[in-house]
Amino acid sequence: MLRATYFSSLWSRSAYLLIIPLPWLFASQGEIWALIALTALMSIPGTFLAISFNAAFADIVPPDWRGHIVGRRNALLAMSILATSLMCGLVLDRIAFPYNFQAVFAFGAVGAAMSSFHLGKLLPAKAIGPPRVRPPNPLNDVARPGMMRFMDAVRPASGLRYLARARNGLLNLDILRGPYRAILIAYLFFHTAQYFCIPLFPLVWVSALHLSNTVISIGNALFYAAMLLASLPMGRITALAGHRRVLLTGAFLYGLYPLLLGLAASDALFLVASVVGGAVWAVLNGALLNHLMDKTPKDQMPTHMAAYNLVLNVGILAGSLAGPAVLATVGLHETLLLGAGLRLLGAVLFALLV
């Protein structure tokens, strides 16, 4: 499993190197299609990476240490995103196009190579020995390989670890005849509404608000800083309120980010939206999967998680296509406000169905 993790990371992350020469090889339209093709190719080994890493993590790290390790990874992720977001913003503003973007992708390639190098240094559990100290309680892991990181949307790969353990019967349609069907419908609508807005955000930043790369990077840093800080007390809050209440609270607040962007006329409200969006996603991120797992029979976890991952991907595809399609007929701000309304409707469906 460790070898699969290492080699899939190499294949997935090598695409960053191929992005660097695109401006020298293609015209503008050709660059777009080449970038789409590279992204699709990255996703194939990226899927293997997400599955194999989750399985390797479970094999290597003893249960009592997993929360401690995850917490350390989250802290390092926060510092990394804060530093690189600000640095990349400065590079993009101070170096001429397209060399600025090539420099950023070169930085990304170096970081990806370092990550793969350290994955290659992982040792089997039997070579490490038992832990000597019981570490503190966990934080939700927001640094999992295979995740899609984008302001206002982080696609969790947690459920993939169950797929890695499954042997057969992954797509048992019998589960659609029971109460799980209503849950999947609610999650399908939520993820569709979630990704309805995602393609619109860069257009708002660049075309509507005319934000500089530095301001966008600051907003990105604020989003993840708020997300990590708000994650700190979530374990205690969830223990007191339960996964369902946390899920509904986050879902009803989730439309604030597109709503604030739709109303924004300057970079000030954009930065406020970044802080609010990061804090809200910290509330919602863990609850989405945790409440789903509460509703899933423990002896049928692989089958139900496979169905959820199918729903997740259908929602991503449907939402990502629907948002630009609506934008082609109405204005940008109107489409964002519609997206905020769809997210609110998704929260209502959660309240009714899950």
The per-residue pLDDT for 75 is 66
84 in Cβ contact with 107 (< 8 Å): yes
pLDDT tens figures, 258-284: 999 999 988 999 999 999 998 998 888
Please report the pLDDT score of residue 252 as a whole number. Answer: 96
Exposure string of 195-214, with b = 16+ CB inside 10 Å and e = fewer, is: bbbbbbbebbbeebbebebb
C-alpha closest to that of 234 among 148, 137, 346, 154: 137
Closest by alpha carbon to 59, among 151, 122, 141, 103? Answer: 122
Q: State the pLDDT at residue 74.
A: 65
> What is the model's pLDDT at position 260?
94
Query: Backbone phi, then psi, for 296, in 5-degree steps?
Result: -105, 130
The pLDDT tens digits of the residues spanning 134-177 come to: 444 444 555 554 444 556 665 544 444 444 444 445 555 666 67
The CATH number of the structural domain formed by 147-354 is 1.20.1250.20
pLDDT value at position 98?
86
pLDDT number for residue 135: 45
Q: Which regions in the chain score pLDDT beneath 70?
A: 1, 51, 54-55, 58, 63-72, 74-75, 125-176, 301-302
Closest CA to 85 of 110, 115, 107, 114: 107
Domain ranges of the chain: 1-128+136-143, 147-354
